[in-house]
Amino acid sequence: MRALVRPYIGVIGPDPCDEVVGERCERIGRLLAEAGAVLVCGGLGGSMERAARGAFEAGGFTLGILPGTTRAEGNPYLTLSVPTGMGEMRNALNVRASDAVIAVAGEYGTLSEIAFALKTGVPVVGLGTWVLSKEARAGPDAIARVSTPEEAVASALRLAGYS
Amino acid sequence: MRALVRPYIGVIGPDPCDEVVGERCERIGRLLAEAGAVLVCGGLGGSMERAARGAFEAGGFTLGILPGTTRAEGNPYLTLSVPTGMGEMRNALNVRASDAVIAVAGEYGTLSEIAFALKTGVPVVGLGTWVLSKEARAGPDAIARVSTPEEAVASALRLAGYS
Amino acid sequence: MRALVRPYIGVIGPDPCDEVVGERCERIGRLLAEAGAVLVCGGLGGSMERAARGAFEAGGFTLGILPGTTRAEGNPYLTLSVPTGMGEMRNALNVRASDAVIAVAGEYGTLSEIAFALKTGVPVVGLGTWVLSKEARAGPDAIARVSTPEEAVASALRLAGYS
Amino acid sequence: MRALVRPYIGVIGPDPCDEVVGERCERIGRLLAEAGAVLVCGGLGGSMERAARGAFEAGGFTLGILPGTTRAEGNPYLTLSVPTGMGEMRNALNVRASDAVIAVAGEYGTLSEIAFALKTGVPVVGLGTWVLSKEARAGPDAIARVSTPEEAVASALRLAGYS
């Protein structure tokens, strides 16, 4: 008996988050669970907790990668958690643990995860999130833009090679 | 519905390992699963694979924290895996993710995990593993010595605060 | 006798880089050295090497934080280098080691450093680099925009609290 | 003009330390500086500060790799310092930055550095430090034992390939 090969999809976004973002993250979590994916997140509150809750309550696996040294800081919807003691540097581990990430809104922490994902070749799906351009030129960035949680999950699974 | 609070017990040891060590690790894994604990390991072969196999085949959760950047290097008995891209530095993350660790035999990598655990206050149970002393003085070290997998698991759960 | 307290200024940008970016970085490095600052960089080629060269040849201290496990990969203009074995995750260490960073052009790696700096409160000066906005709203971002190496260095030193 | 290739020698030991250990570390630091080596240490007090002081006051380069997020915690004898925000995990970076390490006495943190060095192939010189053995067998360990600071420095430089 061997472990199933599952897609690992990161959901990244703000903490705290408003209710619109929270509902989107919770729905993304639920859809990921229904698709058999593992939900990866930073393990704390706001969008992380809402995404984990959506997935966990739908029977999915959730993995929280925490900044501090104790799992007591994690939200209550994590199947498994990993305290790292690395502070915000753990954002890079969230990305390394994901086959694709979905960015929902977000502040600078989310931006750091988007950038690290793009740098290391992890596909990024964006739902109302950062827009990246350069002073020297404009044009579409490398984020796959979507408008709904359903599109976000479908896009992330496809980009992760599962569809 | 909230996630259960479970003990996380690391099993650390050599890769590759001989059959005596392998059987001990597999039995420790099985006992941990039966106790409802999460088995934490480095995710690769040898003692890591044997411990994960014992736990996974008994229906337990197994978490592998991998040195490279892809989960393809993980053994097939990991419920969830975390590629870190940190090389041997990920040994410290194995310890951070554990409420107690059981060291079975082992080489320098195991020693680094024992030392990091003792430094950061994570209890260490030893089964035929390193003996630590200082040039300046002799005497018992801080490792809880046991002789069997059964004793190892009972000791680790007790030291982790579950018993 | 105690070590001088010096500003540590990171210079982040692309590898490889074109000649315009290279000349800007080299000039920034020289100006930082003349101001008594330590030049922090990722230690490799392109803009990192040009900045380090500018600073080192002007008699300044240069610190390279390397992604691999050997300092042999560093460019030849590093007073001191730190191999990390953490791959691109070392970008976060570049930022942690800096009191302010100057971003010159740059790709996703540079973006990850900009984002990590903004997240952790390290001031960012931008010279022809990324422009950050959000789908939900437009407006100026938190990067201090400048047009010349002279302005970049003056701005970085001021934002780092030295001026 | 290129940077000199210098040996990087780590000095690892306890914080706080007694006067015997402190004098040994300070002398090791001075001898390393006189040999043109870079002194690598954890940047804090006790043996780290004494070693850095010995090297710095003799005109050598000293590099401190700090556990926290600010260089304000570093001792005053560091030519350059790197805050990591990784806590005790930064011990592994001390080792990665060293071509050889000298362990003087020490507690569990020192042991973690000895073990990580032995794991990753960085030579270890020991002066009154940990003795490693296994339950299954006794015999000399892989630490090069010395009795004086002079022997420690000579041994470390030779093992690092400089002599």
Q: Which chains contact C through at least 3 pairs of Cβ atoms less than 8 Å apart?
A: A, B, D
Q: Which two tokens stand for residue C22?
A: 């290279």
Distance, in Å, from the CA atom of D122 to the CA atom of D120, rounded to the nearest integer, reads 6
On chain D, the residues whose CB falls within 8 A of the CB of B105 are: 134, 136
Contact between D50 and D27 (Cβ < 8 Å): no
Q: What is the mean pLDDT of each run of 10 residues along chain D (163 residues)?
A: 93 97 98 98 98 98 98 97 98 98 97 97 96 76 94 98 89
Could you please report the per-residue DSSP string of B119-162?
A: HHT--EEEES-EEEEESS-----SSEE-SSHHHHHHHHHHHTT-
User: How confident is the model at residue C7, as a pLDDT?
Assistant: 97
Domain residue ranges of chain A, discontinuous segments joined by +: 8-159
CATH code assigned to B8-159: 3.40.50.450
User: How confident is the model at residue C75, as a pLDDT?
Assistant: 98
Q: Is B8 helix (H, G, I), strand (E, B) or coil?
A: strand
User: How confident is the model at residue D136, as a pLDDT?
Assistant: 64
Q: What pLDDT digit, counting tens, does each position of B81-120 carry?
A: 999 999 999 999 999 999 999 999 999 999 999 999 999 9
Identify the H or E element spanning D61: strand D61-66
Place of tokens 């990430």: A101
Report the complex ipTM.
0.95
* Strand B100-104 versus strand D8-12 pairing type: unpaired
Positions in chain C short of pLDDT 50? none
Residue contact C61–D71, C-beta within 8 A: no
Name which of D77, C2, C153, C114 is nearest C162 in CA terms.
C153
Q: Which residue of B has its CA nearest to A85?
A: B96
> Chain B residues contacting C, CB < 8 Å?
69, 85-89
Q: What is the mean pLDDT of chain D?
A: 96
Q: What pLDDT digit, counting tens, does each position of D95-111 carry?
A: 999 999 999 999 999 99
Q: What is the mean pLDDT of chain A?
A: 96
> Chain C residues contacting D, CB < 8 Å?
1-3, 8, 38, 56-57, 61-63, 65, 69, 71, 76-85, 92-93, 96-97, 120
Please determine, for residue A133, whether its predicted confidence score (pLDDT) is greater than 70: yes
Q: What pLDDT digit, counting tens, does each position of C131-155 carry?
A: 998 876 666 789 999 999 999 999 9
Contact between C7 and C155 (Cβ < 8 Å): no
Q: Model-level pTM? A: 0.96
User: How confident is the model at residue A127, as a pLDDT?
Assistant: 97
On chain A, the residues whose CB falls within 8 A of the CB of D88 are: 85
